[in-house]
A and B are shown apart, each in its own frame.
Chain A
Amino acid sequence: MTELFNSFMNGPDENGRFGDFGGRFVSETLMPLILELEAQYENAKTDDSFWAEMHDLWTHYVGRPSPLYFAERMTEALGGAKIYLKRDELNHTGAHKINNVLGQIILARRMGKTRIIAETGAGQHGVATATVCAKFGLKCVVYMGAHDVERQAPNVFRMRLLGAEVVPVTSGRGTLKDAMNDALRDWVTNVRDTFYCIGTVAGPHPYPAMVRDFQSIIGKETREQMDAAEGRLPDTVIASIGGGSNAMGLFYPFLDDESVNIIGVEAGGKGVNAKMEHCASLTGGRPGVLHGNRTYLLQDDDGQILEGFSISAGLDYPGIGPEHAWLHDIGRAQYVSITDKEALEAFKFSCEREGIIPALEPSHALAHVMKIAPELPKDHLLVMNMCGRGDKDIFTVARAFGFDMSGPEGRTFE
């Protein structure tokens, strides 16, 4: 294999580390499973038939490649950089999540697993997992924080329509991290038939690398599409980050292109300050160990994990993928944060300027685009990953704007 000496694309090492981050911090019961998964993935990765199946489903089931769209009226309004949107919100199920789910489920089938478990926050990963399980006739159990089950009722109903069992998690405080704890508890109990389909570039090795590889289709397509449109590389790529899978998918193919600025946008909630009402693990946290990997975490002085806060349930996680933690530390990517308020402004801007209702997650990335684009020259090519559509968020947004859609506060249409 030819390896670039100074490549940023060689990680993780054989211990699953990106620099000091990553690793395999799991209980002994799970270790043999994780090692088996790693071996099977290494095997699949170099198997043409595996990728042929992926590409066939990406094309015919998901609708890839997703367009790279020149957002002309956004560009005009901001008056600077040329803004392109990578339209991953047009995928089947409405977000980038399915790119990865397909890969893991095909792998699960190759491994003879018959029962799939997943954790979900906003419900997008849960819906994608339930969808692919329905397609292949696999049993699907989704763990979702009880608090999220309440605030994301439409996605809960979607998952149930698709035949999945949705388990509301009441342990801890009933959010995404607790859902992940309960998924791990399920896995440790049902080791023989169950495959744990993790939704982001976090967890024990090999998950961060595997999920990144499956999501990298986003960046690969962007590269080709930008070359076709402009005949060169983009100057800046931007994506929002909760765990960081859509961002890692966009960033990874550009890591070795020095000329490409890479910017990740974390959820700043009510503001990144001592009150910790945010989910900005990199800008407001410090390194620790949770859910199988070492990464930046929101935690107190005793190493207890704090709850994040964000208007976007999909960014509401106190950690971040270990590869982002590494890219942050070595300075290859820049990480910033955007508040709820700024994200809501961007949400409106996208609706009004481009006729695209974005999810609240990419609205964070767009808010940062709105900050920097006006200062950049007109020939600066900027790509933002529009990683999800906003249908799931309209109730939250209506509430935030004080817009009464259906009578009593919080009621939704049947």
Chain B
Amino acid sequence: MTRIDDTFARLKTQNQKAFVAYIMAGDTDYDTSLEVLQGLPDAGVDIIELGVPFTDPMADGSTIQLAGQRALAGGQTLTKTLQIATKFRETNQTTPIVLMGYYNPIYSMGVDTFLTAASEAGIDGLIIVDLPPEEDVELCLPAQEAGLNFIRLATPTSDAARLPKVLQNTSGFVYYVSMTGVTGSAAVQAVDVKPEVDRIKASTDLPVIVGFGVKTPEAARDIAAIADGTVVGSAIVERIGRGDAPADVLSFVKTLADAAHS
């Protein structure tokens, strides 16, 4: 059982949907991202996705790309991202952190070194966008052995033939990407996503969380209602990027979390 499994068990007894928030580590600088991170649980965030900056984020839209560039310009690295998580764990032992990013920084550090460091830093799961099931031996299987969840993205192109492959070796939860596109794309409608979520839930006992294109409290409420929870990333990152104070960012996050929990 990871913190992720515990969180979903708790939410189930409370009959509540999960609210997942994404921020980029080191954006706009190390201290700002740490301050926002530390405030997320009190703002109602159930699971934190902590972005690892990468120069070539091919699955992200411009909002997340720019966040990564700001972080890298400030000297953020994978090592410093794990440091931020370590710092967070000094005061919080319950809220799960999922690292989200691309494989090369991890490969560059070395998979074994990374997994040891990530476990020590209190990381609970990984979403590595450019590691499909075909490359499971790279990181997915070693990560699960190290006790981390490996969370897979399911997409509109994950048809009946493909879905079993996507669900195999996934753990923690399934992240359903609501559209074909990059992060921060146009808003999605719950009514369009529901049949897809139902289709995935019919094939797995894992919770299904929906992200991509969820920008407002209303959308968070509607999308959470048809799934086990929802993720908001770009809308939060945009506020951080334009220089909103951490307190203001967190009060926006709270409106999203309250809506998703309603």
Chain A: residues with CB nearer than 8 A to chain B? Answer: 15, 23-33, 171-172, 177-178, 181, 184-185, 188-191, 287-292, 294, 297, 299, 301-305
Contacts and interface: CB of A to CB of B under 8 A. Distances in A.
Interface residues of B, number: 45
B206 interface: no
Given A29-B157, A289-B107, A297-B104, 14 more contacts: A27-B155, A28-B157, A32-B162, A33-B157, A185-B61, A185-B182, A188-B58, A290-B104, A291-B56, A302-B105, A303-B105, A303-B107, A303-B109, A304-B55
Contact of A28 (B53, B108, B177): B177
Contacts of A294: 107
Contact of A27 (B55, B72, B153): B153
A284 to B, nearest CB: 16
B193 to A, nearest CB: 15
Nearest to B69: A172
Given A28-B153, A188-B182, A181 B56 contact: yes
Contacts of A292: 130
B55 A172 contact: yes
B14 interface: no
B181 A189 contact: yes
B180 interface: yes
B223 to A, nearest CB: 18
A62 B182 CA distance: 37
Contacts of A184: 58-59
The 8 closest A-B pairs by CB, nearest first: A303-B108, A303-B105, A302-B77, A29-B155, A189-B181, A303-B104, A184-B58, A305-B55
B188 interface: no
A305 B154 CA distance: 27
Interface stretch (B16-24, B131-139, B227-235): B131-139
Interface of B: 53-59, 61-62, 65, 69, 72, 77-79, 102-109, 129-135, 152-159, 162, 166, 177, 180-182, 185
B56 A305 contact: yes
B107 A189 contact: no
B253 to A, nearest CB: 26
A304 B157 contact: no
A343 to B, nearest CB: 27
A379 B160 CA distance: 62
20 contacts: A24-B135, A25-B103, A25-B135, A26-B130, A27-B155, A28-B152, A31-B133, A31-B134, A32-B162, A171-B65, A181-B56, A185-B61, A185-B182, A188-B182, A288-B107, A290-B104, A294-B107, A302-B108, A304-B53, A305-B56
A191 B108 contact: no
B132 A27 contact: yes
Nearest to A306: B55
B104 A299 contact: yes
A185 B77 CA distance: 24
A32 B162 CA distance: 7
Contacts of B130: 25-27, 289, 292
Nearest to B76: A302
A14 B146 CA distance: 28
A185 B182 CA distance: 6
B12 to A, nearest CB: 26
A28 B154 contact: yes
Nearest to B159: A32
A301 B108 contact: yes
Contacts of B129: 27
Contacts of A31: 132-134, 157, 162
Contact of B185 (A181, A189, A290, A297): A189
A303 B106 contact: yes
A185 B102 CA distance: 15
Contacts of A26: 130, 132
Contacts of B166: 28
Nearest to B105: A303
A190 B185 CA distance: 13
Contacts of A25: 103, 130-132, 135
